[in-house]
A and B are shown apart, each in its own frame.
Chain A
Amino acid sequence: QLQLQESGPGLVKPSETLSLTCTVSGGSISSSSYYWGWIRQPPGKGLEWIGSIYYSGSTYYNPSLKSRVTISVDTSKNQFSLKLSSVTAADTAVYYCARLGYNWNDAMWYWGQGTLVTVSS
């Protein structure tokens, strides 16, 4: 059974860079044709897609976040990562990693449990 687990600091200061890693177990990032992605959910609000990545490194980002987002993959560690720069309080959210289908904007089939990141000084 595929499992995903987010990890990273739970508190980030305004203007700094948020960094999270998603570790995949029960399957290999590089041996499948699936995309992998990040989604966030501000407290009490709805879901927002941040971006997707293929094991080859091809990336697709939400146009509203594109200038601040970098998603990368490390196939040797079976991990992919998110960096979001110049954060503000509006970036406070639960961040989820997920395995998508065969397209970068496909349905999200498997989800991590999520990690709350708070932006505050």
Chain B
Amino acid sequence: QSALTQPASVSGSPGQSITISCTGTSSDVGGYNYVSWYQQHPGKAPKLMIYEVSNRPSGVPDRFSGSKSGNTASLTISGLQAEDEADYYCSSYTSSSPVFGGGTKLTVL
């Protein structure tokens, strides 16, 4: 059982927007502004897409955005593209160890 809760799957059509939620507690997501999001294509290493809740590393399209409200963080992908189909994981800083969500499979219909 993962420390952070994500939906197992989400889907959307090209051009649409989707949002993936990541729910934790006041000891992780709600307690710190250190939530990150990773994209993982099959057989590949994860790639950092969002750090510190809403910041994008250089090279990540601005179609990807992050936010947080209380104990829930969210990743929104606008203008869905076929290459966005992947698994997405959230992660949060805690005082004892970084913790991850169980992952969400994004299907682009």
Residues of B within 8 A of A14 (CB): none
Among the listed stretches A21-29, A71-79, A83-91, A102-110, which one makes contact with chain B, having 4 or more residues with CB under 8 Å of it? Answer: A102-110
Residues of A within 8 A of B34 (CB): 105-107
Among the listed stretches B10-18, B68-76, B99-107, which one makes contact with chain A, having 4 or more residues with CB under 8 Å of it? Answer: B99-107
A48 to B97, CA, bound (A): 10
The bracket for how many chain B residues form the interface is: 20 to 34
Segment 81-121 of A: residues with Cβ below 8 Å from B: 96, 101, 103, 105-109, 111-114
Task: State whether A107 and B100 are in contact (beta carbons under 8 Å apart), knowing that A96-B45, A112-B45, A114-B45 are contacts in the complex.
Answer: no
Residues of B within 8 A of A114 (CB): 45
> B48 touching A109 by the CB < 8 A rule?
yes
- The minimal Cβ–Cβ distance linking B34 to chain A, given in whole angstroms, is 7
> A46 touching B98 by the CB < 8 A rule?
no
> A-facing mask of B87-103, CB < 8 A → 1, else 0?
00101011011111111
Residues of A within 8 A of B96 (CB): 63
Instruction: Report if A11 contacts B (CB, 8 A).
Output: no
Instruction: Report if B84 contacts A (CB, 8 A).
Output: no
Residues of A within 8 A of B45 (CB): 96, 111-114
Instruction: Report if B65 contacts A (CB, 8 A).
Output: no
A116 to B47, CA, bound (A): 18
> A46 touching B101 by the CB < 8 A rule?
yes
Q: Which of A48, A105, A112 contacts B93 (CB 8 A)?
A: A105
> A46 touching B47 by the CB < 8 A rule?
no
A106 to B2, CA, bound (A): 18
Other A-B contacts than A46-B2, A106-B93, A109-B48, 6 sampled, CB-CB below 8 A, are: A49-B98, A60-B97, A63-B97, A96-B45, A109-B51, A114-B45
27 chain-A/chain-B pairs, Cβ below 8 angstroms = A46-B2, A46-B89, A46-B100, A47-B46, A47-B100, A49-B97, A49-B98, A49-B99, A49-B100, A63-B97, A101-B51, A103-B93, A105-B34, A105-B94, A107-B34, A107-B36, A107-B48, A107-B91, A108-B36, A108-B38, A108-B46, A108-B48, A108-B91, A111-B46, A111-B47, A112-B45, A114-B45
